[in-house]
Chain A
């Protein structure tokens, strides 16, 4: 099963389901993430957004169905990377967090520092380079997580509610950075339970509820003309499950 997809598709999912000890948490679904687009996985808490992103990134193995990524395997980069809701910071300096990731994907030792410094500069973190990453604020940690992922030069970036734990100003900053990544051509697949964020960032929407894909469409259509009662209720601010 080579990942020889149409290059216009970054991720293609067919018949995908996921179960833990007999309980199906993600019900069979099909969808695509188009290259260069921002797909937002929208849904209330417990809808299955985190599971879906982990399945897409390969951290979880599907119980059935397939996940095809259009991975371009090139030396010194990783085709896809992931940001977690609570950033995972290694117990190292800000700089060493980035060099560690680069070393892990096989970047030669001589290039580690240069590429890490480039990433920190790119995201305005160079001033914090020597600080222990765990002692940064939540917003700075998420920014470092973005810089660390960006340093791997991914084509596709998974983001699991990257601003859910942040205050509005940190959220604005992260959203601006995601807009920049989008402008650079990185494909984004991002989850949120925040309608406002989905409106601001999404090109395409996957609306999930209770582990099922309820609606998949372009963002404008989703918000202006939702096709399902559940989506209409969610957009109207009613509880959905």
Chain B
């Protein structure tokens, strides 16, 4: 394909031409990762808030465990879900292995501990300041969760962006459960990993540029979010 001609120029051409295969990979990546983050948010925000306001035996152990899960290697998560979803595995009957659904599940599992841990920390800090007042107007811990999640929304959005960042950047989990099948489960990171070794540097570089762009955008959003948070909420 490309000999000495700069792969960078070919990569830029892919982006500018809106190459359909290229766009397909970017689109699938975004769809999988956004869905995974939404799933993790749906479960992780209330769970993290609940963990922040409730007191029960084993709570500290649970917090430590969830913090540890944040550092889980993606390949291990991929391996676990590979075993669970493979035909002979306990969830094999659903036929999800090597589908986008499998990648969504794996990524959601990677993001979930981040969302829970950051939500727990954020809500616990807010709750420390709010507790007596909310109790004073008749709101116990459970009733307070809605108020706390709403008032922490700008910080929590930053937590979700952090989760999105981790999911966008990871290769191992989606490679193992997705299989990097062209047009079906080929994501940006898995494509880069494989195309680089196959020598299609243009595609790899083009996707790399998009990934860097997304990372920049996510960070800019997080920064803007905290500024908006201060302006609106103090």
List chain A positions with a Cβ less than 8 A from chain B.
54, 57, 59, 78, 81-82, 84, 88-92, 100-101, 104-105, 132-135, 152
Contact = CB atoms under 8 A, between A and B. Distances in A.
Contact of B231 (A78, A84, A100, A132): A132
Interface stretch (B27-35, B131-139, B196-204): B131-139
Interface string B186-197: 000000000000
Given A90-B130, A90-B151, A132 B135 contact: no
**Is the interface on chain B under 10, 10 to 19, 20 to 34, or 35 or more residues?**
10 to 19
B232 interface: yes
A105 B232 contact: no
A81 B136 CA distance: 7
Given A84-B132, A88-B132, A100-B147, A78 B137 contact: yes
Interface string B204-234: 0000000000000000000000000001111
Contacts of B133: 84, 88, 90
B233 A134 contact: yes
Contacts, number: 46
Interface string B134-177: 11111100010001000110000000000000000000000000
B90 interface: no
Q: Which 8 A-B pairs have the closest CB atoms?
A: A134-B234, A91-B233, A88-B133, A132-B234, A91-B151, A104-B137, A135-B234, A82-B136
Contacts of A104: 134, 137-139, 143
B143 to A, nearest CB: 8
A92 B136 contact: no
Contacts of B136: 57, 59, 81-82
Given A84-B133, A88-B132, 17 more contacts: A57-B136, A59-B132, A59-B135, A59-B136, A81-B137, A84-B132, A88-B130, A90-B130, A90-B151, A91-B152, A91-B233, A92-B151, A105-B137, A132-B231, A132-B232, A132-B234, A134-B233
